[in-house]
A and B are shown apart, each in its own frame.
Chain A
Amino acid sequence: MTRADFSDDILMRFADGELDAETSAEIERAMETDDELVSRVGLFIETRQAAKAAMQSLLDEPLPAELEAAVGRMVAEKTSAQSAPSASVLAFPRRAANDRRASRWLVAAASLAAVFAGLGGYWLGGRGEPPSGGALPLAAVSSPALAEALATVASGEERQLLASNQRFRAIATFRDSAQALCREFELDSADRSTVVSVACRAGSEWRVTFAVAAPGGSGGYAPASSTETLDAYLTAIDAGPPLEAGEEAKALADLREVRQ
């Protein structure tokens, strides 16, 4: 059958080498006698080749020296640090103090203290007692307004929290390694300081598992140093990729349903 109607989808898969051998052979046979089919396939092949050729110059560009040096340094540091086996993934909050990256967490810890002080027990219900080992206190979210915002505001959106002068900004939603739903968010206070934070579901409540305060005057968004700390934290808890908008909406809706 040389006059089979091949859809554009099939032809594109053919051009991209994504088609099974049998159908591919069928198309090749049909192309021997069908010029229009040849040019339809040709469009996919030519656009692929043209795109590749056009982007080649970016590959040939010399790498910026700073970038190459920075990454080289990073790799060298990491590979030499590996001799200490504990330097792999940091668990939060408890980890030996002799870890070479512990200093980073001390910064986070200091900022965390500032956060809790600054919010004046805002998040600390009656359950803010530090876990054993004298590590960081993980607080349950006791503010109904914040809990509500966590359960409703889509990532990319922001909202003024009821009965407070704080602005809540949802950044992303993801699942941790235990599949608990987590949200990364930022809170701006009236003094222009910003808290970068992560809260995860624990049973029927949100628990703040991470928070860093960015100093005031940063113009309403978190400076790079605090997001670096956050990145390290997300890596440590094995955070999954951010949920797509649809998935997030569904996860949050499920949450609200359970709560009723």
Chain B
Amino acid sequence: MSDAVKEVGERLIAFLPNLRRFAISLCRTRDIADDLVQAACERALASAERFEPGTRFDAWMFRILRNLWIDQVRRQKTAGVQDDISERHDIAGASGDREAEARLTLKTVADAIDHLPDEQREVLLLVCVEELSYREAADVLDVPIGTVMSRLARARKSLAEATGITGATGRSQVMKGVNE
């Protein structure tokens, strides 16, 4: 029993940067994200026995964190204290220069990700950034695999349009990407 807590504890600390990155992309503001990470760690330690060895620790943690976030959003929504999170865009950082530049040129990738609908952003993060499989992402998000795929495809389409990615890098590049 103490092994489970010990193991979760050790992995938790090593995993903090990734957990925080996912949290920031969910709440898009660092203060709230840090509180959320802390709450998720507490929850994970309290239920360490429920982590099944051999399954992905990162997926388990993302799921705990995301469920806490959903609860929190519901509370805020119903309590009328929502201090419009959708207006905050913290992923790309608050660089005035970059904002000015974005008006002239295409958006940076970070900006484009920041502006995706929540449900697309989270699936893009889980699959493309955190490298979860579709199945694992579906489990984290509690949705069918088909939903993961359609959200993911839409996310990439908007991302490509917003940033000017065309996919025309040539065959050798693409094959390299496939084999990575």
- Residues of chain A at the chain B interface (Cβ within 8 Å): 8-9, 12-18, 28, 31-32, 35, 38-55, 57-59, 61, 63-64, 66-68, 70-72, 74-75, 78-79, 82-83, 85, 88-89, 155-158, 169-172, 184, 186, 219-222, 227-228, 231-232, 235, 238, 241-242, 244
Contact = CB atoms under 8 A, between A and B. Distances in A.
A222 B109 contact: no
B38 A49 contact: no
Contacts, number: 206
B128 A51 contact: yes
Given A43-B166, A47-B160, A52-B128, A157 B5 contact: no
Contacts of B160: 43, 46-47
A78 B9 contact: yes
Interface residues of B, number: 75
16 contacts: A32-B171, A38-B167, A39-B168, A42-B169, A46-B165, A46-B177, A47-B159, A51-B124, A52-B128, A58-B20, A74-B45, A88-B49, A89-B49, A184-B71, A220-B81, A241-B142
B140 to A, nearest CB: 10
B37 A67 contact: yes
B46 A235 contact: yes
Contacts of A17: 178
Interface of B: 1-2, 5-6, 9-10, 12-13, 16-18, 20-21, 24-25, 30, 34, 37-39, 41-43, 45-50, 63, 67-68, 70-71, 74-81, 91, 108-110, 113, 124-125, 127-129, 133-134, 142-143, 149, 152-153, 156, 159-160, 163, 165-171, 173-175, 177-178
A96 to B, nearest CB: 16
Contacts of A220: 79-81
Contacts of A63: 16-17, 20
